[in-house]
Amino acid sequence: MAIPPKAPNAPKSPMPLSLPKRQRPQPQPSQPPQHPPTAPQVAPRPAVPRAGTLSIRAKPAPERAQKFFAPCPRGLEQVLADELVALGAAHVSATDGGVGFSGPFTMGYRVCLWSRIASRVLWQLAESEYRHEEEIYRLARNVDWPHLFSARETIRVQVDAMRSPVTSLEFVTLRVKDAIVDRFRAAMASRPSVNTSMPDMRIHVFLTAYKATVYLDLAGEALFKRGYRREGLSAPLRENLAAGMLALKGWTGQMPLFDPMCGSGTILTEAAMIAMHVAPGAQRGFAFEKLRNYDAAAFRQMRDGAAQGVTPLAAHLLFGNDRSADAVATTRRHLQNIGGDATATAVTLTSEAMETLPAPAASGLLLTNPPYGERLNELAELKAWYPAVGAWLKRTMAGWRACFITADRGLPGGIGFKPSRRTPLFNGALDCRLFEFELYAGSRRTDRADTDGAATPKIRA
Ligand X SMILES: C[S@@+](CC[C@H](N)C(=O)[O-])C[C@H]1O[C@@H](n2cnc3c(N)ncnc32)[C@H](O)[C@@H]1O
Residues making contact with ligand X (CB under 6 A): 233, 235-237, 260-261, 263-264, 266-267, 321-324, 327, 353-355, 369-371
Cβ 377 to ligand X, closest distance in Å?
A: 15
Cβ atoms of residues 124 and 49 within 8 Å: no
Task: Name which of 136, 208, 204 is nearest 175 in CA terms.
Answer: 136
What is the tally of helices (H) and strands (E) in the chain?
11, 15
Cβ 460 to ligand X, closest distance in Å?
A: 25
Nearer to ligand X, 173 or 351 (CB): 351
Secondary structure in 3-state letters for 320-349: EECCCHHHHHHHHHHHHHHHHHHHHHHCEE
Cβ 230 to ligand X, closest distance in Å?
A: 14
Cβ 222 to ligand X, closest distance in Å?
A: 16
Nearer to ligand X, 13 or 264 (CB): 264
> Dihedral sign, CA of 186, 160, 83, 103?
positive
Question: Measuring CA to CA, how many Å separate 232 from each of 200, 352, 375?
Answer: 25, 20, 21
Nearer to ligand X, 10 or 241 (CB): 241
C-alpha–C-alpha distance, residues 395 and 356, integer Å: 11
Cβ 316 to ligand X, closest distance in Å?
A: 21
Q: Provide the β-strand partners of residue 102.
A: 67, 90
Cβ 407 to ligand X, closest distance in Å?
A: 10
Cβ atoms of residues 438 and 420 within 8 Å: yes
CB within 8 A of 396, min separation 6: which ones?
357, 358, 359
Cβ atoms of residues 76 and 425 within 8 Å: yes
What are φ and ψ of residue 126, in 5° steps? -160, 150
Sequential DSSP letters for 179-194 = HHHHHHHHH-S--PPB
Cβ 353 to ligand X, closest distance in Å?
A: 4
Nearer to ligand X, 72 or 267 (CB): 267
Collapsing DSSP to helix, strand or coil, 216 comes out as strand
Cβ 150 to ligand X, closest distance in Å?
A: 38
Nearer to ligand X, 320 or 364 (CB): 320
Residue type, 190: S
Cβ 403 to ligand X, closest distance in Å?
A: 12
C-alpha–C-alpha distance, residues 290 and 149, integer Å: 7
Cβ 210 to ligand X, closest distance in Å?
A: 41
Collapsing DSSP to helix, strand or coil, 274 comes out as helix
Nearer to ligand X, 4 or 416 (CB): 416
Cβ 422 to ligand X, closest distance in Å?
A: 19
The β-bridge relationship of strands 318-321 and 98-103 is: unpaired
Nearer to ligand X, 66 or 321 (CB): 321
Q: DSSP secondary-structure letter at 224?
A: T
Nearer to ligand X, 200 or 259 (CB): 259
| Nearest-CB residue for ligand X | 263
Biggest alpha carbon–alpha carbon distance for the chain: 86
Cβ 328 to ligand X, closest distance in Å?
A: 9
Nearer to ligand X, 127 or 239 (CB): 239
Q: DSSP secondary-structure letter at 242?
A: H
Nearer to ligand X, 201 or 271 (CB): 271
C-alpha–C-alpha distance, residues 459 and 111, integer Å: 39
Q: DSSP secondary-structure letter at 225?
A: -
Nearer to ligand X, 304 or 378 (CB): 378
Nearer to ligand X, 217 or 322 (CB): 322
How far from chain centre, in Å, is Cα 304? 23
Collapsing DSSP to helix, strand or coil, 90 comes out as strand
